[in-house]
Structure 1
Amino acid sequence: MTSTPLARSTSAASITLAAANALIAEVQTAAQEIGFEASVAVTDAGGHLRAFQRTDATPFLASEVAVDKAWTSAAFGFATHTWNDYVADPKVAPLAGHPRLMAVGGGYPILEDGKLIGGVGISGGTAEQDQQAAEVALKALGFDLLA
């Protein structure tokens, strides 16, 4: 038996509402410059929706896709475009059936000093456009960007 006291909790960092809204604004600016309308979702580190915006011309299905991209990147801590390689592995392929898993570019974990604080998901353009808008916005606000 050890005399070290049992730790009963951990400190969980989370993206602030102000930072989530700033990220959405940066994504919308990037999307406009790239040339598409976007739905943008930001979750906290637990995958819970923190902030959301859908432009008027974005298809309604893009809303759900954006939320699921943000959830996927927060849940696993890496970008959604990398999932296609993972689900090709028969040992991981069953995860592709998870109803929220989104293996399409445009979702990134939000990292501050290497620590996961949330996820961002963009939908409305091509997977490459969504991914590009995420990268531009995360860099503009000084968040860490996974390669």
Structure 2
Amino acid sequence: MHVTYELAEQAMAAAIAESKKIGTQMCIAVVDSGADLKAFVRMDNAWVGSVDIAIKKAKTACFFAMNTGQIGQLSQPGGPLYGIEHSNDGLITFPGGVPIVDKDGVLIGAVGVSGSAVENDHRVAKAGAEAIGVSDLPEHPWRT
């Protein structure tokens, strides 16, 4: 199953509400399970440079079914995913991308957020993802 337009709207509304709650202006992207853009918003006064980053965070989280911050930890020099950010026309490997998983543990899309400190980006992306999915991802044997 993919994130539908209606689900993407729900995720977007939750992410925008969380962004407003913490007083930030974000770029927020929602992709479906094929990593195709389903919804996007650049909130008023959000950085133009964050547009591409938010979309790439969503795609990165979807491609690998994990939070982008986790990929960042695994992609440090000497790590098992070192250099991965150069694949797939460029990935983002710092926090702010969160997969969306349905109640059966199936990846249905992802949310990517950029525009503030990475901790805030992750918080807003997580709020969007949790509005329509679950936050606990099935573990893969190679994940740490």
TM range (shorter): 0.7 to 0.9
Distance 1:119 1:34 in 2: 21
4+ long deviations beyond 4 Å:
none
Per-residue deviation, 1:91: 4.0
Greater shift, 127-136 or 86-95, is seen at 86-95
Pairing 1:59-138 to 2, within 5 Å after superposition? 59-88=47-76, 89-98=78-87, 99-113=89-103, 114-138=105-129
TM-score scaled by length of structure 2? 0.87
What percent identity do the matched residue pairs reach? 27
Deviation at 1:90, TM superposition (A): 4.4
What corresponds to 1:3 in structure 2? none
2: CA distance, partners of 1:146 / 1:131: 15
Aligned residue among 18, 28, 32 for 2:16: 28
User: What TM-score does the superposition give when structure 1 sets the normalisation length?
Assistant: 0.85
CA RMSD of the aligned region, Å? 1.4
Whether the 8 Å CA contact 2:99–2:129 is kept in 1: the answer is no
d(CA) in 1 for partners of 2:66 and 2:42?
23
Is the Cα–Cα contact under 8 Å of residues 79 and 146 in structure 1 kept in the other structure?
A: no
Stretch moving more, 90-99 or 42-51: 90-99
Displacement of 1:143 after TM fit? Answer: 1.2
Task: Tell me by how many angstroms 1:97 deviates.
Answer: 2.0
Q: Is the 8 A contact 2:10 2:132 kept in 1?
A: no
Q: Which runs of 5+ in 1 are unaligned?
A: 1-12
Q: What secondary structure is seen at the aligned counterpart in 1 of 2:16?
A: helix
CA contact (8 A) 2:7 2:132 kept: no
Task: Return the alpha-carbon distance in structure 1 between the equivalents of residues 95 and 79 of structure 2.
Answer: 21
- 8 Å contact from structure 1 (residues 71, 100) kept in 2: no
Distance 1:36 1:60, change over 3 A: same
- 1:35-87 deviation line (CA, Å, top 9, x unaligned): 11011101111111111110120011111000000000110000001122111
Matched to 1:49, the amino acid is L
Residues 90 and 134 of structure 1, relative CA distance in 2, 3 Å threshold: closer
Question: Does the CA-based 8 Å contact 1:15-1:118 persist in structure 2?
Answer: yes
Computing the radius of gyration over CA atoms, which structure comes out larger, 1 or 2?
1
